[in-house]
């Protein structure tokens, strides 16, 4: 292992040489593997190299499609970027199941995003409140050059509030700022506004005679957006008569009983809720990735929302009334369809075109539906055949690839596991048997 200075200034080939010498010396195929994932189109490779820093290669994820999604009476084929077996198959199965039952219905409950100026203040809170009231308009005035274009698109700063948080942390206050960013995710816009708010707060405080007489001024700690966006919310739902959920009345009622119980368990049991919601995010993240959005921000915000009532709980809910089964999700999704990778990455642009160039609100609806579909498919499997039957059949090809099965072995394995349970050890046993 070796330390290096000025690594970022090396060329890509020099970086690779250094890495293979000092960290991959016992991996003879390292250079070949790194280079085989380069794009032969030099301009396209340069574009990918500039997405991040110290790039040495491209890391591929499969881009798949889940068709037959009826969302608000409009048909979609949804692009999904994900490496996990059975996710796209499960989403597609759920889409087909609900296709002739009214499909998925959605509603945007809000699009407000949030950011804060976090600061200390050691003086009298009443004095600070009076000061804030007097200078509130200055925050809007100071950011006109930043907000001009956003306002033309229908967005901008919605409100700024002074929040006293000294009950939680001594001398801690914040400016709680809300924004509308329309079709942009808006991180850069929001952070630029917040940093200007911080500068304005300190400058106006220094010029305020009352604060000067008191001898203490606001001390800005940081200015940053929040990825917790409980007011940027979308609801997606499916519903149908209970009788349509089984071949017979008894079968349908038994399915609904077990399905509803599984959801209730996820509502009250955090151990189950985490896995339950992870399955939902399989669908949402796959759409978020395919459309060039920030899945880490989405994940953080969604899981915070799942714990908003003081304990971690299911994002999906079920109700049966008057013979009608209703299954829905409410989830915060701050997504964008302009800016960032959405206008740079060729496959992201392709995914957007596949979705007929959606607005941010439309993309929120689509992503929420993907999460609901994924959850329906997963819980459906759990309360009927069990999760492993379908998942392991999809995982079979990964295991065969791992042990470099040839075409004859693959064909025989696929045929064998049509009537036998797929397990990792059983696949190995079958390969060993064929090879002996």
> Could you list the active site residues?
84, 278, 294, 391
d(CA 436, CA 431): 9
The gap from C-alpha 16 to its chain's centroid, in whole angstroms, comes to 32
Calculate the dihedral angle through the C-alpha atoms of 167, 168, 170, 174, rounding to the nearest 10 degrees. Answer: -90
In this structure, the strands spanning 113-120 and 219-225 are antiparallel
> Number of helices and strands (H, E) in the chain?
16, 10
d(CA 157, CA 127): 25
Give phi and psi for 123, each to the nearest 5.
-95, -160
| C-alpha distances in Å from residue 405, one per residue of 50, 398, 410, 412, 418 | 37, 10, 6, 10, 17
E strand map for 271-363: 316-321, 324-332
Helix, strand, or coil (residue 155): coil
| C-alpha distances in Å from residue 21, one per residue of 2, 14, 144 | 10, 11, 53
Residues with Cβ within 8 Å of 179's Cβ and at least 6 positions away in sequence, in order, are: 112, 113, 114, 115, 155, 156, 157, 158, 186, 189, 190, 193
> The tokens 């798949």 sit on which residue?
64
Task: Determine contact, residues 371/277, Cβ cutoff 8 Å.
Answer: no
d(CA 152, CA 154): 5
């Amino acid at each position: 292992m070796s330390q290096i200075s000025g690594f970022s200034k090396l060329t890509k080939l020099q970086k690779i040489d250094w890495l293979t010498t000092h960290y991959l010396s016992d991996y003879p195929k390292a250079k070949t593997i790194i280079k085989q994932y380069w794009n032969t189109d030099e301009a396209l490779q340069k574009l990918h190299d500039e997405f991040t820093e110290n790039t040495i290669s491209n890391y591929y994820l499969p881009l798949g499609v889940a068709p037959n999604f009826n969302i608000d009476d409009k048909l979609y084929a949804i692009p999904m970027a994900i490496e996990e077996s059975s996710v796209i198959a499960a989403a597609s199965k759920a889409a087909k199941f609900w296709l002739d039952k009214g499909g998925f219905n959605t509603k945007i409950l809000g699009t407000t995003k949030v950011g804060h100026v976090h600061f200390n203040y050691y003086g009298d809170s009443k004095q600070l409140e009076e000061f804030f009231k007097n200078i509130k308009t200055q925050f809007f005035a100071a950011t006109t050059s930043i907000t001009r274009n956003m306002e033309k698109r229908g967005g901008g700063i919605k409100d700024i509030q002074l929040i006293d948080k000294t009950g939680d942390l001594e001398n801690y206050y914040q400016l709680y700022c809300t924004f509308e960013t329309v079709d942009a995710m808006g991180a850069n816009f929001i952070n630029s506004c917040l940093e200007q708010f911080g500068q304005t707060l300190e400058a106006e405080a220094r010029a305020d005679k009352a604060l000067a007489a008191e001898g203490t001024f606001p001390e800005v700690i940081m200015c940053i957006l929040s990825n917790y966006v409980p007011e940027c919310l979308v609801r997606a739902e499916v519903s149908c008569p209970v009788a349509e959920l089984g071949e017979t009345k008894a079968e349908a009622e038994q399915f609904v009983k077990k399905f509803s119980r599984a959801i209730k368990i996820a509502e009250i049991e955090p151990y189950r809720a985490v896995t339950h919601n992870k399955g939902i995010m399989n669908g949402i993240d796959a759409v978020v990735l395919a459309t060039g959005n920030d899945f880490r921000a989405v994940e953080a915000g969604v899981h915070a929302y799942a714990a908003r009532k003081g304990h971690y709980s299911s994002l999906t809910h079920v109700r049966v009334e008057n013979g009608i089964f209703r299954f829905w999700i409410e989830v915060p999704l701050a997504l964008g369809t302009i800016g960032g990778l959405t206008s740079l990455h060729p496959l992201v642009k392709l995914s957007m075109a596949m979705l007929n160039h959606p607005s941010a609100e439309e993309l929120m609806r689509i992503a929420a539906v993907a999460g609901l579909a994924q959850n329906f498919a997963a819980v459906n499997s759990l309360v009927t055949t069990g999760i492993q039957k379908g998942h392991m059949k999809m995982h079979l090809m990964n295991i065969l690839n791992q042990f470099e099965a040839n075409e004859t072995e693959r064909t025989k394995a696929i045929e064998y596991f049509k009537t036998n349970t797929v397990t990792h050890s059983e696949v190995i046993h079958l390969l060993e048997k064929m090879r002996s």
